[in-house]
Amino acid sequence: MTTPLGSGREWTDPSCPVARTADLVGDRWSLLIVRDAMDGASTFTDFQQRLGIARNILTDRLRKLVDQGVLTTSTLPGGKRHSYELTAAGQDLFTVIVALRQWGERHAFADGESHSTLVDHDGNALSPLRPENRKGNPVTAATTRVRKTPH
């Protein structure tokens, strides 16, 4: 990587990678725009119809995601409409989106309540993401700690 995302901006908590990510994509609409871009949405109309979001908010979030390097935009033939695509860094948010999805499946739906499912080519759901240490053992908040940067 040459220039990191968000370079030059003010960060809420500059030394924390969680906080930098939250600054870049940590709002409801940005996360859902990324979700829909992964699912094939590419034009303003695509996002607007899927999200039912106010046009001025969508305009603002798309602009920010482009400015921050999560989306890239190009002009469609005809010169008026724009296409939005995830950058490589944006594509790499797949793990974040899957983590949000799996948590929602576990905690925000009643037993038997129907919800959309992310499936592979065979139509099967994914395995649950599981944080592990380098030895392959599962870890939790209770078995890990945050090591601050050296001063």
Residues 66 to 125 in contact with a second copy, rule: CB under 8 A: 69, 86, 89, 91-111, 113-125
- Nearer to a second copy by Cβ, of 39 and 59: the residue is 39
**Two tokens, residue 42:** 């590419």
Angstrom CA distances, 123 to 118, 119, 140, stand at 8, 5, 30
- Nearer to a second copy by Cβ, of 78 and 88: the residue is 88
CB of 17 to a second copy, least distance (A): 3
Which residue type, as a one-letter code, is found at position 71? Answer: L
What is the total count of residues that contact a second copy (CB under 8 A)? 86
Segment interacting with a second copy, rule: CB under 8 A, options 29-37, 41-49, 56-64, 76-84: 29-37
- Nearer to a second copy by Cβ, of 74 and 95: the residue is 95
Cα separation, 85 vs 39, in Å, equals 11
- Nearer to a second copy by Cβ, of 75 and 99: the residue is 99
Based on the shown chain and the rule CB under 8 A, indicate whether residue 61 belongs to the binding site for a second copy.
Answer: no
Characterize 99-117 residue by residue with b for buried, 16 or more Cβ atoms within 10 angstroms of its Cβ, and e for exposed.
eebbeeeeeeeeeeeeeee
